[in-house]
Structure 1
């Protein structure tokens, strides 16, 4: 059975209005509709860079104890966390997993390693 949800831990974490930090979350695989739907959004039409904000708000299903993930929460992430989530999105949606292919610098042997969430 294919894995469709991936746990993560943000490097810095989202700070909510009460000052609580939310770091642990879950991202699901994107659907074709997830990638197509934001193209109709006026915010993306005005600024194509906003696409990632909408996309992440659709595929992140949990972040700490927050009830709902929306574009305002993604906009409020620290830039390091946003970059981390963009990288995770690319890896799981291109490869279907969060493993990386690496080469040993000593023996040049190639193998896959499972990425460990930052902070673990």
Structure 2
């Protein structure tokens, strides 16, 4: 919940990187650093993060994006990602000597798999 009267200011810049039929890959740049900031800001725009059940983000199942997908009998379908789809791809912060420290991290395997499947079945 956002407490507009007593809450602290929070700012996030969003950029839509890629549009799919049912999803959007979004780059988020938090200007302030509040707990759950990105998650809350996206949820208030009805754009909850995939798999983030705290903020009404639903998991993605292959059956929901791949036409004709059928589970084998007795098998329970698992979500493509077993966590919510949030990843710190690029970080910049000041070191002790006041120089920028830059960290770039590729998508984790499960995140990359989700994007690959969305590219193939939801583009």
| TM-score class normalised by the smaller sequence | 0.3 to 0.5
TM-score by length of 1: 0.32
Which structure's residues are more often helix, by fraction? 1
Which structure's residues are more often strand, by fraction? 1
Instruction: Say which structure, 1 or 2, has more relative contact order (CA 8 Å, 6+ apart).
Output: 1
TM-score by length of 2: 0.32
Q: Quick check: which has more Rg, 1 or 2?
A: 2
